[in-house]
Amino acid sequence: MSKPLAFIPEPKYIPVSITGAKCELNCLNCRGRYLKTMIPAKTPKRLKEVLLRHWLRGGYGALISGGFTRKGVLPISKEFIEVIKYVKKETNLLISIHTGLISKELILELYSADIDFIDFEVPPSNNFLRKVKNLMDHDVNMYIKTLQYMLTLRKDFAIPHIIIGNKYSTSNEELRVLEEISNLNPCMVTVLAEIHMHKGIEDLVTRVINSLKHLRSIFRG
């Protein structure tokens, strides 16, 4: 049996941006270009329309994301959360949210809204936060603590994401963060391998493969 080369969730699972193409943070690895591929829903009314129409057309789920503030969070208001709560009550649509480093209060609001899970990016190093994310006052430990709190609510409430192979983090730093994540025992981890075609790519691919092997050894199942 041949193996799939890629998994493309659309059109059953759609990405929605509540900020349109706008992003204050302007991360080095995105510069807002990923937002342009998402369905814009800049008001609660528009978000409700998009989600309900998707459900009526046979959609399975939606990722709610958007541009982050300069503090590294998705600016999701109570009005947006009320829409999500309504959609979850009226449909079986699966809803995930890419939040950034949000407060405990907002985490509890999203939990009460009955969202399915939070897509939570954990940086591979402090240098990555500074050079790629433009977050000078943040550190990896802040994200680990926030992830830990999310997982106390429900073990599948947060799905940690981590980028490996980035030039602003080392293999040892990546492995150390992966170990910290594994200690929290999440139900799933998403690893994004960043591989650019340039001189020295063989070493980079080896580094990524070794990280993935280590990942498999610490996450059993």
Q: What is the mean pLDDT of residues 157-164?
A: 94
Q: How far apart are CA 103 and CA 191, in angstroms?
A: 24
For 160, the token pair is 């940690």
Tens-place pLDDT, residues 181-192? 999 999 999 888
pLDDT of residue 4: 46
- Work out the pLDDT band at 133, boundaries 50, 70, 90: very high
Mean per-residue pLDDT over the chain, rounded: 89
For 57, the token pair is 């057309």
Query: H-helix or E-strand containing 218?
Result: helix 201-218
pLDDT of residue 181: 94
Tell me the C-alpha to C-alpha distance, in Å, between residue 48 and each of 11, 16, 218. 18, 11, 40
- Work out the pLDDT band at 116, boundaries 50, 70, 90: very high
For 38, the token pair is 């998402």
pTM reported for the whole predicted model: 0.88
Tell me: pLDDT of 135 over 50: yes
What are the structural domains of the chain? 13-218 (3.20.20.70)
Q: How many helices (H) and strands (E) does the chain have?
A: 7, 7
52 vs 29 pLDDT, higher one: 52
pLDDT of residue 28: 75
